[in-house]
């Protein structure tokens, strides 16, 4: 065992306690070095945990196949363990801490026999940023170690920061026996700790990701006065060289990575617009001395969804994946290249389970198959990603998959209205979580699976940032997924989305008037750049139309949703919903009077 040092005594004691419980064959403290990573890769190649891919087309890249029962987040087995159930809220599955520890520790007993126990010190965010937070994950999975090295600032520098600060999030993970009946992901916010067993899948096993960076960090953020959000961060540089940073929240597999790596269309590119990728999934925002919100991406890599990523949808991601990547549950071509639906080239010969590809067995790549790759390999990677101060946020964008009703873009009236817009956000479900696909569910701020405490308190925390001296971002809502009567998408999306971001930046700069509607401000005629845009006649007007009757029903549904969080729901949010409802009712009455 490692000898105790004064500042690291608590860490060492915890590691020793875990070793006694799990009984590993050996304990290894990870230093994050290149040599260590190379050794881990060779170990996994020898065991079959990794399979080599084509060294010419995908150098130093590998395939991992998870157990077929272990391919997505398991929200029904994910618990927030607070002393009082009300603290976790109806948005979380709750278990009393003592009961949770007893239940999961019984599964951890002897779980690492014959395995190596890895101790991974890591930092979420730039190693020298005051906005960053550290953690230590203990795991028996070399696959987890390799992914954590890509996804975090891991190893000796993180350990040195932990020694200086004396505080870290404790994460304990074991793949166990991968039995779905013996699988749990437990969070203990008051203890700043996580315990996960029975899964090797990313979000369940890479504890720095959703578990720490969102569920535990959201609790830390509430206590310390900042925000931990499920948001991308993208930098937009206009022809004048002015940069605006936008944070955007969409549920998983709804285009976050595509927007984070957006490529300007030819017209915008020739005009001098540039896009910079700060982060594709998680955003930590803290009020600065200037009153603005400053943000970091706590991650150092991308753990993205592979299917749908192709030359036509996200060429930047494809370029990022050209080397030094780990692919999980994708298919393979005859010449050992990774393949997935939407890639646009090649043919699979082996599916994600290692079987000869047969369309009768379903998709070649699992719909939630993933890639892990360093953010610095991204052609649009923003050097500001490493700035200790973070980047200032000009706008916050909410969005989801809504085939009808919700306009292409609208801006909230003010911060309180923006919080309501985020709280009310709904989207069709995707393959990123287990359960039915294509069902509308409310997913406030895209945080419903990830907020580590009661949603009503979370909304109150958001509202608390609206105070004298604050220079808060404008809040917008987008919907790239509106469909016409024939079920076809009306908006082309992808690079064309920059047209919408352009309008947002004009609003931030005071250069676009917009048109006020009961639900917010939409672009006025001619404000949204449509030059060269191929749309059906009248489509843009329809995309920006506000159906007041339909929105009246929507506000009623939103009210029922918010009421579900009980007495802790902020009165200010309820009053804001009532304000919008009355504005809609007045618009309906005016329309009826005009018709009469």
Shared-domain flag, residues 91 and 106:
yes
- pLDDT of 118 higher than 50: yes
Distance CA 324, CA 53 (A): 11
In the chain, the number of structural domains is 2
| 596 confidence band (pLDDT: 50, 70, 90) | low
Q: Residues 301-325: pLDDT tens digits?
A: 999 999 999 998 899 999 999 999 9
Distance CA 264, CA 139 (A): 41
Q: Supply the pLDDT for residue 438.
A: 63
Q: Supply the pLDDT for residue 433.
A: 54
- pLDDT of 447 higher than 60: yes
Shared-domain flag, residues 213 and 118:
yes
280 is in an annotated binding site: no
Of 189, 224, 259, which residue is a domain's last?
A: 224
37 is in an annotated binding site: no
Q: Supply the pLDDT for residue 440.
A: 74
- pLDDT of 434 higher than 70: no
CB 231 within 8 A of CB 399: no
125 is in an annotated binding site: no
Of 208, 224, 240, which residue is a domain's last?
A: 224
Shared-domain flag, residues 84 and 41:
yes
- pLDDT of 280 higher than 70: yes
- Which positions ≥6 away from 474 have C-beta within 8 Å? 394, 395, 396, 411, 412, 418, 504, 507, 508
33 is in an annotated binding site: no
Q: Is residue 21 part of a domain?
A: yes
Shared-domain flag, residues 127 and 188:
yes
| 584 confidence band (pLDDT: 50, 70, 90) | very high
164 is in an annotated binding site: no
297 is in an annotated binding site: no
Q: Supply the pLDDT for residue 312.
A: 86
| Radius of gyration, alpha carbons of the chain | 24
Helix axes 548-563, 415-423, angle to 10 degrees: 80
Q: Is residue 329 part of a domain?
A: no
Domain that holds residue 408: 229-301+382-560
Shared-domain flag, residues 247 and 260:
yes
- pLDDT of 1 higher than 50: no
Average pLDDT, the chain: 94
More confident residue, 274 or 72: 274
Of 173, 198, 224, which residue is a domain's last?
A: 224
Q: Residues 353-378: pLDDT tens digits?
A: 999 999 999 999 999 999 999 999 99
Shared-domain flag, residues 543 and 406:
yes
Q: Residues 56-114: pLDDT tens digits?
A: 999 999 999 999 999 888 888 999 999 999 999 999 999 999 999 999 999 999 999 99
Indicate the helix (H) or strand (E) that contains 12.
Answer: helix 9-22
- Among candidate residues 396, 521, 563, the one with its CA nearest the CA of residue 466: 396
In the predicted model, what is the mean pLDDT of residues 465-474?
Answer: 97
CATH of the domain at 185: 3.40.449.10
Shared-domain flag, residues 430 and 508:
yes
422 is in an annotated binding site: no
Q: Is residue 308 part of a domain?
A: no
Shared-domain flag, residues 444 and 488:
yes
Q: Is residue 140 part of a domain?
A: yes
210 is in an annotated binding site: yes
What DSSP letter does each residue of 349-401 carry, written as one string? EE-TTSSBP-GGG--SS-TT-EEEEEGGGSTTB-GGGG-TT-EEEEEEEEE--
Q: Residues 488-532: pLDDT tens digits?
A: 999 999 899 999 999 999 999 999 999 999 999 999 999 999 999
Q: Is residue 35 part of a domain?
A: yes
- Among candidate residues 340, 333, 376, the one with its CA nearest the CA of residue 356: 333
495 is in an annotated binding site: yes
- pLDDT of 150 higher than 50: yes
Q: Supply the pLDDT for residue 21.
A: 98
Shared-domain flag, residues 408 and 520:
yes
Q: Supply the pLDDT for residue 177.
A: 95
Q: Supply the pLDDT for residue 437.
A: 62
Shared-domain flag, residues 210 and 245:
no
Q: Is residue 362 part of a domain?
A: no
Shared-domain flag, residues 444 and 519:
yes
Shared-domain flag, residues 217 and 257:
no
202 is in an annotated binding site: yes
CATH of the domain at 468: 3.90.228.20
Q: Is residue 313 part of a domain?
A: no
84 is in an annotated binding site: no
58 is in an annotated binding site: no
Distance CA 202, CA 205 (A): 5
Q: Is residue 388 part of a domain?
A: yes
- pLDDT of 452 higher than 90: yes
Out of 30, 134, 254, 451, which one is annotated catalytic? 254
Q: Supply the pLDDT for residue 130.
A: 97
Q: Supply the pLDDT for residue 430.
A: 55
270 is in an annotated binding site: no
Is 134 an active-site residue? no
């Amino acid at each position: 065992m490692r000898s105790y040092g004064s500042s690291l005594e608590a860490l060492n004691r915890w590691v020793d306690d875990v070793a006694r419980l799990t009984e590993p064959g050996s304990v290894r403290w990870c230093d994050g070095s290149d040599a260590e990573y190379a050794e881990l890769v060779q170990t996994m190649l020898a065991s079959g945990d990794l399979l080599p891919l084509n060294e010419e087309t995908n150098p130093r890249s590998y395939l991992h196949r998870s157990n077929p029962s272990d391919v997505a987040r398991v929200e029904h087995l994910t618990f927030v363990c607070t002393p009082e159930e009300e603290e976790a809220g109806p948005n979380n599955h709750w278990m009393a801490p003592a009961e949770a520890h007893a239940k999961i520790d019984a599964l951890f007993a002897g779980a690492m026999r014959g395995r190596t126990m890895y101790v991974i010190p890591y930092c979420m965010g730039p190693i020298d940023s005051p906005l960053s937070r550290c953690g230590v994950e203990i795991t028996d999975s070399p696959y987890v170690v390799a992914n954590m090295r890509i996804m975090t600032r891991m190893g000796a520098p993180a350990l040195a920061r932990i020694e200086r600060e004396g505080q870290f999030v404790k994460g304990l993970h074991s793949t166990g026996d991968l039995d779905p009946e013996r699988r749990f992901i437990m969070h203990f916010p008051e203890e700043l700790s996580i315990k996960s067993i029975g899964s090797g899948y990313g979000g369940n096993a890479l504890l720095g990701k959703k578990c720490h960076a969102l569920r535990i960090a959201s609790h830390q953020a509430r206590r310390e006065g900042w925000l931990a959000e499920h948001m991308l961060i993208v930098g937009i540089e206009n022809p004048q060289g002015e940069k605006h940073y936008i944070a955007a929240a969409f549920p998983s597999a709804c285009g976050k990575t595509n927007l984070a790596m957006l490529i300007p269309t030819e017209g915008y590119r020739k005009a001098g617009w540039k896009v910079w990728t700060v982060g594709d999934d998680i955003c930590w925002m803290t009020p600065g001395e200037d009153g603005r919100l400053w943000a970091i991406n706590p991650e150092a890599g991308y753990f993205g969804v592979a299917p749908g990523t192709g030359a036509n949808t996200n060429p930047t991601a494809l370029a990022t994946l050209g080397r030094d990547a780990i692919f999980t549950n994708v298919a393979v071509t005859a010449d050992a290249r990774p393949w997935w639906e939407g890639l646009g080239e090649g043919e699979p010969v082996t599916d994600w389970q290692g079987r000869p590809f047969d369309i009768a067995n379903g998709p070649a790549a699992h719909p939630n198959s993933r890639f892990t790759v360093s953010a610095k390999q991204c052609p649009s990677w923003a050097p500001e990603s490493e700035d200790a101060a973070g980047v200032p946020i000009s706008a916050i964008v909410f969005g989801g998959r809504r085939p009808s009703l919700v306009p292409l873009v609208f801006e909230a009236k003010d911060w309180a209205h923006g919080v309501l817009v985020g709280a009310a956000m709904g989207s069709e479900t995707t393959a990123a979580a287990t359960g039915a696909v294509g069902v509308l569910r409310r997913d406030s701020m895209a945080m419903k699976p990830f907020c580590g405490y009661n949603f009503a308190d979370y909304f109150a925390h958001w509202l608390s940032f609206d105070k004298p001296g604050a220079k808060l971002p404008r809040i917008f809502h987008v919907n790239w997924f509106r469909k016409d009567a024939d079920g076809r998408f009306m908006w082309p999306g992808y690079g064309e989305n920059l047209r919408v971001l352009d309008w947002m930046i004009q609003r931030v700069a005071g250069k676009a008037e917009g048109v006020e509607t009961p639900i917010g401000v939409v672009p006025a005629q001619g404000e949204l750049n449509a030059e060269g845009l191929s749309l059906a006649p009248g489509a843009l007007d329809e995309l920006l139309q506000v159906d007041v009757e339909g929105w009246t029903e929507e506000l009623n549904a939103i009210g029922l949703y918010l009421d579900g969080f009980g007495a802790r729901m902020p009165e200010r949010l309820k009053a804001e919903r009532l304000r919008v409802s009355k504005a809609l009712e007045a618009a309906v009455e005016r329309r009826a009077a005009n018709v009469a």
